[in-house]
C-alpha cells in the first residue's frame, strides 16, 4: 500500500464521523430545531457501541447500540425542548454536559480494554484492487451508510413530499400548524434522526477510528459537526465537501506531526478548531445570504394554540 | 397520554422560587436511585455527598475555594445570557486570565511590591476580556455564531496553555515537569482567614462582583438595556440601544470575570501554571448561572451548591469507591431538571389522556 493510499484512507476514516453527525444535525435543523447536544449524543454513542460490542462480541450489534444511545439522548432533548418548550441552546448544552459525565461513568470499566474493529464490508478480492479497491471498497459498513445518507437526505428533503413538509415546519411552524401538520411530532422525528446519526458517528469513533474507549474521545467533533451544518448552508451535498475538508485538516496535522514539521505539536493540534472558526467567518460574512439559507424557525419554540 | 401546556396569564411567582428547589430534589432522587443501582447504601451515599463536606472547618474552606470561580464566572455569564449572547467559552477565558495574570510572577519574578497582586488581578481580567473579545468581534463584524466560535476557542486555549508550560514558561529548575516556577509569596493571593484554613480572597472577589452585578442589573440603565435587548432586540433598537454594543459589553464583562477567576485560582489555590488549571469551572458555571435563575444573587447560592458536588464527588470516591465522574453526571442532571422545571413558571401542565398532540381542525 502506498503512502498516498494510506493518507486517503485515514482522511476517510476521520471524515466519516463528522459527515454522519452533521447530516443528522442538518435534518434536525431543517425542521427548525437547534440541538447543540451533538457532542453529548456522539460520546454516548461511542461508549455504548463499545460496551455492547464487548458484551455481544459483534461490532454490528455494538453499532446498533450506539444508534440506540443517540436516539435515547435525543428523545431527552426532544422532551425538554418540544414538549416542555425549554430553551434549545441551554438544553443542548445540558445534553452535552450530561453525555460527557454519563459516558465517563458507563465507560470506566472499559478504559484500556482492547476493542473489536468493525471489519471491511466487501470481500478481499474487491478491496485489494489498488486505489479504488483499497481506499473506497475496503471500507466498513458505516462509511457506506454515511455516503448513502448524503444521497438519501438530499433526495428526501428536496424530492419528496415528506421532505417538503419537514422543511415547511422548519421555515414557518405557525403556517405549518395552520395547514394541519403535526409540528411537534415531525420535529420529534427529525430530532430522533439527528440522535441516531450522532450515535452512529460515535460508534464509528470507538469501533473504527480508534477501536477503544477513551474518555471524552469525541474531542469537540460534535461541535465541529454543528459548524459544518452552517458551512454547508443547510444543503446535504456541501456537507460532503465540508466533512472531507475537515477530515483532511485533522489528519493533515497528524501527518505533519509525524513528519516532524517545525511547529509545536499543540499548534498543529489546534488547527481543526482554528479552521472551524475561519470557515464560520467566511460563510457567515454575508448577512443576507445567511438569512436566506437559515431555516427561519431555527431555535424557536412552538406551542400549539387551540 | 400526552402533556399539554397552557400559558399562564403571567409568570408564576411561586414557581419562580420553587423551580430550582424542585430541580434539586429531583436530582437527589436520581442520585438515590443511582447509588442504589450501584449497590451502595443510598442514604449513606447522599449523606457523604451532600452533608459530610459541610461539617468540618477545612472542608468549608475547600467549598469556598471551589465556589469562588463558579460564582465569578456564573455571575458574568448571567449578564451575557440575559442580554441574549451565548458565551459558552468561559473555560477558555478562565485559562487566558490565568496565563495573562501569571506573566509577571513567571517572567519577572524578581520584581515584587505591594502593587504586584493588584496588577496580576488586573492583567487576569484583561486576558479573559481579550480572549472573549474574539467571539464578540467575529459576531459583530462577521455575523458568526458566537456559540461555536467561543467553544472552539476553549480547545485552542487549552492547547496554548499546554504549550506554554511545556515550552517557553517551563520551570528551568523543575526537572522537566510541565509546570512553571512556583509563585513567590508576594504573588500568592493570601488566605482570608489564615489560622482556620486555606480559602483565599478569590471567594471575596466573587461575592463582591456578584453584588455589584446585581446592583447593575436592578438599578442602572445598563442593566435595563441588558434586559430589553435580551428579551427583544427589536424593542431595544427602537429604544435606541445598540445591539452590537451590547455584544461587546456582555462578552468583555463575562470574559473579565472569567479571567479574574482564572488568575485567582492560579495565584490563590494552585501557586503555579500547569497543563490543566480548571476542573471544568467554565462549563459548570453555565449550570450555576441557570440554577441561580440568571440573577447574580441567586448565583451565589447555586455556586455554593455546585461547589458542593465537586467536594461530594471526591468524598464519595474516597469512602465509597464510586467514581468521581458521578459529579459531572449530577451536574448535567441538575441542569436538565432546572430547565424542565422552569416550564412551570410560564405554563400550566395538563395531562391529556385521550389523544396525541397535533393540530385540531
Chain A residue at shortest CA distance from B150: A277
The DSSP 8-state label assigned to residue A108 in this structure reads G
A165 CB within 8 Å of a chain B CB? no
Distance CA B201, CA B263 (A): 11
> Cβ of B339 under 8 Å from any chain A Cβ?
yes
Cell of A92: 443542548
Spacing of C-alpha B63 from chain mean position: 14
Q: Which of A270, A271, A301 to mutate to test the interface with B (most CBs of B within 10 A)?
A: A270
User: Does the beta carbon of B24 lie under 8 angstroms from any beta carbon of chain A?
Assistant: no
Q: Is A151 on the interface with B (CB under 8 A)?
A: no
Question: pLDDT tens across A274-303, in order?
Answer: 999 999 999 888 888 888 888 998 988 888
Spell out which residues of chain A touch residue B356, defining contact as CB-CB under 8 Å: 185
Contact between A86 and B148 using a beta-carbon 8 Å cutoff: no
Which residue among B147, B323, B359 places its CB closest to the CB of A304? B359
A140: DSSP letter: B
C-alpha–C-alpha distance, residues A60 and B31, integer Å? 33
CB contacts, 8 Å: B138 with chain A: 277, 280-281
Helical H runs in chain A? Answer: 3-30, 38-56, 59-78, 88-107, 124-127, 141-159, 161-171, 173-178, 183-204, 221-231, 236-258, 265-269, 271-284, 287-293
pLDDT at residue A107 above 70? yes
The per-residue pLDDT for B354 is 63
Give A73→chain B minimum CA distance, Å.
12
From residue B336, give the alpha-carbon distance in Å to each of B90, B290, B300: 20, 10, 20
Q: Is the pLDDT of residue A82 over 50?
A: yes
A:B CB pairs within 8 Å: 152
Q: Report CB contact under 8 Å: A86, B326.
A: no
Cβ atoms of A30 and A189 closer than 8 Å = no
Q: What pLDDT is attached to residue A126?
A: 76
- Percent of chain A exceeding pLDDT 90 equals 65
C-alpha cell at A261: 514539521
The pair phi, psi for residue B324, each rounded to 5°, is -70, -5
Do B145 and A280 count as a contact with CB atoms less than 8 A apart? yes
CB within 8 Å: B332 and A85: no
Q: Which CATH number fits domain A3-119+128-293: 2.60.40, 1.10.3470, 1.20.5, 1.10.20?
A: 1.10.3470
Please provide the average confidence, as pLDDT, over all residues in chain A: 91
Using CB atoms, pick whichever of B143, B148, B328 lies closest to residue A223.
B148
Q: What is the rounded distance in angstroms from the CA atom of residue A154 to the CA atom of residue B340?
A: 34
Q: Summarize pLDDT for B271-299 with one digit per residue, the tens.
A: 999 999 999 999 999 999 999 989 999 99
pLDDT digits (tens, 9 = 90+) for B78-90: 999 999 999 999 9
Q: What count of other Cβ atoms lies within 10 Å of the Cβ of residue B63?
A: 20
How far is residue B218's CA from residue B198's CA, in Å, rounded to a whole number? 34
Tens of pLDDT along A204-225?
Answer: 999 999 899 998 999 999 999 9
Q: What is the pLDDT of residue A253?
A: 81
Residue B4 phi, psi (nearest 5): -125, 140
Handedness of CA A303, B2, B8, B14 (dihedral sign): negative
Is residue A77 within 8 A of residue A198, CB to CB? The reply is: no
The residue ranges of every structural domain in chain B are 2-352
Q: Please measure the distance between the N-terminal and C-terminal CA atoms of chain B and give it in whole angstroms.
A: 20
CA B110 to chain centre: 34
Task: Residue A146: name the closest of A38, A22, A248 by CA.
Answer: A22
Q: In this predicted model, which residue has the larger pLDDT, A112 or A152?
A: A152
| Reported ipTM | 0.90
Long-range contacts of B8-15 (CB under 8 A, 24+ apart): B8/B345, B8/B346, B8/B347, B8/B348, B11/B345, B11/B346, B12/B344, B12/B345, B12/B346, B15/B341, B15/B344, B15/B345
* A47 part of contact set with chain B, CB < 8 Å: no
Summarize the confidence of residues A60-89 as an average pLDDT: 94
Return the pLDDT at B71: 97
CATH code, residues B2-352: 1.10.3470
On the CB side of A149, CA atoms within 13 Å amount to 27
Q: Which three cell numbers stand for residue A68?
A: 440506540
pLDDT of A131 higher than 50? yes
3-state secondary structure chain B: CEEEEEECCCCCHHHHHHHHHHHHHHHHHHHHHHHHHCCCCHHHHHHHHHHHHHCCHHHHHHHHHHHHHHHHHHHHHHHHHHCCCCCCCHHHHHHHHHHHHHHHHHHCCCCCCCCHHHHHHHHHHHHHHHHHHHHHHHHHHHCCCHHHHHHHHHHHHHHHHHHHHHCCCCCCCCCCCCCCCCCCHHHCCCECCCCCCCCECHHHHHHHHHHHHHHHHHHCHHHHHHHHHHHCHHHHHHCCCCHHHHHHHHHHHHHHHHHHHHHHHHHHHHCCCCCCCCCCHHHHHHHHHHHCCCCHHHHHHHHHHHHHHHHHHHHHHHHHCCCCCHHHHHHHHHHHHHHHHCHHHHEEEEEECCCCCCCCC
**How high is the pLDDT of residue B353?**
67
Burial of B328 (0-12, 13-18, 19+ CB in 10 A): buried
All three cell numbers of A76, joined, read 431527552
Does A84 contact B at CB distance below 8 Å?
yes
Closest CB from A84, A102, A180 relative to B340: A84
Please give the pLDDT value at position B361.
44
B321 touches A: beta carbon within 8 Å:
no
Q: Do B273 and B161 meet the contact criterion of CB atoms below 8 Å apart?
A: yes
Question: Minimal CA–CA distance to A206: which of A12, A55, A69, A43?
Answer: A43
Pairwise CB contact (< 8 Å): B358 & A108: no
The confidence score (pLDDT) of residue A306 equals 57
Taking the domains of chain A in order of start, what are their residue ranges?
A: 3-119+128-293
pLDDT at residue number B359: 46
Q: Any idea how long chain B is? A: 361
Tell me the C-alpha distance between B354 and B348, whole Å: 18
Neighbouring-strand partners of residue A111: A213
Interface of A with B in 90-119 (CB under 8 A): 90-91, 93-94, 97-102, 104-105, 108
Tell me the pLDDT of chain B (361 aa) as tens digits.
Answer: 467 788 888 888 888 888 889 999 999 999 899 889 888 888 988 888 888 888 888 889 999 999 999 999 999 999 999 999 999 999 999 999 999 999 999 999 888 888 999 999 999 999 999 999 999 999 999 999 999 999 999 999 999 999 999 989 998 888 888 999 999 988 999 988 888 888 999 999 999 999 999 999 999 999 999 999 998 888 998 988 999 999 999 999 999 999 999 999 999 999 999 999 999 999 999 999 999 989 999 999 999 999 999 998 888 888 888 777 888 888 889 999 999 898 888 888 887 766 554 444 4
Residue B354, φ and ψ in degrees, nearest 5:
-95, -50
Residues B332, B103: Cα–Cα separation, whole Å = 35
Amino acid at each position: 500500500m502506498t503512502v498516498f493510499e494510506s493518507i486517503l484512507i485515514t482522511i476517510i476514516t476521520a471524515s466519516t464521523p463528522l459527515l454522519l453527525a452533521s447530516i443528522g444535525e442538518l435534518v434536525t435543523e431543517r425542521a427548525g430545531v437547534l440541538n447543540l447536544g451533538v457532542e453529548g449524543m456522539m460520546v454516548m454513542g461511542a461508549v455504548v457501541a463499545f460496551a455492547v460490542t464487548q458484551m455481544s462480541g459483534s461490532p454490528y450489534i455494538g453499532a446498533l447500540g450506539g444508534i440506540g444511545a443517540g436516539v435515547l439522548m435525543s428523545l431527552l432533548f426532544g422532551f425538554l425542548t418540544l414538549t416542555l418548550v425549554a430553551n434549545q441552546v441551554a438544553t443542548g448544552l445540558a445534553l452535552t454536559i450530561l453525555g460527557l459525565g454519563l459516558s465517563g461513568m458507563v465507560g470506566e470499566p472499559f478504559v484500556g480494554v482492547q476493542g473489536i474493529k468493525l471489519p471491511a464490508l466487501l470481500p478481499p478480492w474487491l478491496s485489494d484492487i489498488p486505489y479504488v479497491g483499497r481506499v473506497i471498497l475496503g471500507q466498513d459498513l458505516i462509511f457506506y451508510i454515511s455516503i448513502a445518507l448524503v444521497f438519501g437526505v438530499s433526495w428526501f428533503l428536496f424530492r419528496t413530499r415528506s421532505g417538503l413538509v419537514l422543511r415547511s415546519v422548519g421555515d414557518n411552524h405557525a403556517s405549518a400548524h395552520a395547514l394541519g401538520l403535526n409540528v411537534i411530532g415531525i420535529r420529534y422525528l427529525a430530532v430522533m434522526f439527528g440522535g441516531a446519526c450522532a450515535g452512529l458517528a460515535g460508534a464509528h469513533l470507538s469501533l473504527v477510528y480508534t477501536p477503544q474507549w477513551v474518555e471524552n474521545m469525541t474531542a469537540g467533533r460534535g461541535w465541529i459537526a454543528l459548524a459544518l451544518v452552517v458551512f454547508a448552508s443547510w444543503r446535504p451535498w456541501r456537507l460532503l465537501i465540508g466533512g472531507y475538508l475537515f477530515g483532511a485538516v485533522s489528519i493533515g496535522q497528524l501527518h505533519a506531526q509525524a513528519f516532524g514539521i517545525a511547529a509545536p505539536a499543540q499548534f498543529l493540534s489546534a488547527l481543526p478548531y482554528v479552521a472551524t472558526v475561519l470557515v464560520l467567518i467566511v460563510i457567515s460574512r454575508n448577512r443576507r445570504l445567511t438569512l436566506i439559507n437559515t431555516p427561519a424557525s431555527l431555535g424557536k419554540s412552538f406551542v400549539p394554540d387551540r | 397520554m400526552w402533556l399539554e401546556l397552557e400559558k399562564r396569564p403571567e409568570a408564576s411567582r411561586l414557581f419562580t422560587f420553587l423551580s430550582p428547589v424542585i430541580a434539586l430534589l429531583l436530582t437527589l432522587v436520581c442520585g438515590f436511585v443511582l447509588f442504589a443501582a450501584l449497590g451502595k447504601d443510598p442514604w449513606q451515599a447522599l449523606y457523604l455527598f451532600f452533608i459530610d463536606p459541610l461539617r468540618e472547618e477545612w472542608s468549608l474552606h475547600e467549598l469556598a475555594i471551589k465556589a469562588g470561580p463558579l460564582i465569578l464566572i456564573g455571575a458574568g455569564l448571567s449578564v451575557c445570557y440575559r442580554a441574549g449572547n451565548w458565551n459558552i467559552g468561559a473555560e477558555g477565558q478562565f485559562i487566558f486570565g490565568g496565563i495573562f495574570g501569571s506573566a509577571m510572577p513567571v517572567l519577572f519574578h524578581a520584581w515584587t511590591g505591594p502593587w504586584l497582586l493588584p496588577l496580576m488581578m488586573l492583567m487576569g481580567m484583561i486576558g479573559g476580556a481579550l480572549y472573549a473579545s474574539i467571539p464578540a468581534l467575529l459576531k459583530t463584524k462577521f455575523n458568526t455564531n458566537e456559540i461555536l466560535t467561543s467553544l472552539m476557542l476553549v480547545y485552542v486555549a487549552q492547547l496554548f496553555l499546554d504549550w506554554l508550560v511545556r515550552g517557553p514558561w517551563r520551570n528551568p529548575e523543575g526537572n522537566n515537569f510541565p509546570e512553571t516556577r512556583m509563585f513567590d509569596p508576594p504573588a500568592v493571593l493570601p488566605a482570608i482567614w489564615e489560622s482556620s484554613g486555606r480559602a483565599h480572597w478569590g471567594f471575596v472577589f466573587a461575592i463582591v462582583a456578584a453584588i455589584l452585578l446585581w446592583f447593575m442589573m436592578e438599578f442602572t440603565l445598563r442593566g435595563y438595556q441588558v434586559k430589553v435587548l435580551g428579551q427583544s432586540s427589536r424593542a431595544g433598537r427602537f429604544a435606541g440601544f445598540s445591539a452590537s454594543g451590547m455584544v461587546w459589553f456582555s462578552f468583555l464583562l463575562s470574559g473579565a470575570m472569567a479571567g479574574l477567576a482564572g488568575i485567582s485560582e492560579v495565584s490563590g489555590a494552585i501557586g503555579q501554571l500547569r497543563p490543566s488549571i480548571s476542573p471544568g469551572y467554565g462549563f459548570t458555571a453555565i449550570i450555576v448561572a441557570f440554577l441561580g435563575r440568571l440573577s447574580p444573587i441567586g448565583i451565589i447560592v447555586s455556586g455554593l451548591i455546585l461547589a458542593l458536588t465537586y467536594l461530594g464527588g471526591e468524598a464519595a470516591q474516597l469512602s465509597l469507591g464510586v467514581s468521581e465522574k458521578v459529579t459531572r453526571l449530577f451536574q448535567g442532571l441538575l441542569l436538565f431538571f432546572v430547565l424542565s422545571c422552569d416550564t412551570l413558571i410560564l405554563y400550566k401542565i395538563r395531562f391529556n389522556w385521550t389523544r396525541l398532540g397535533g393540530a385540531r381542525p
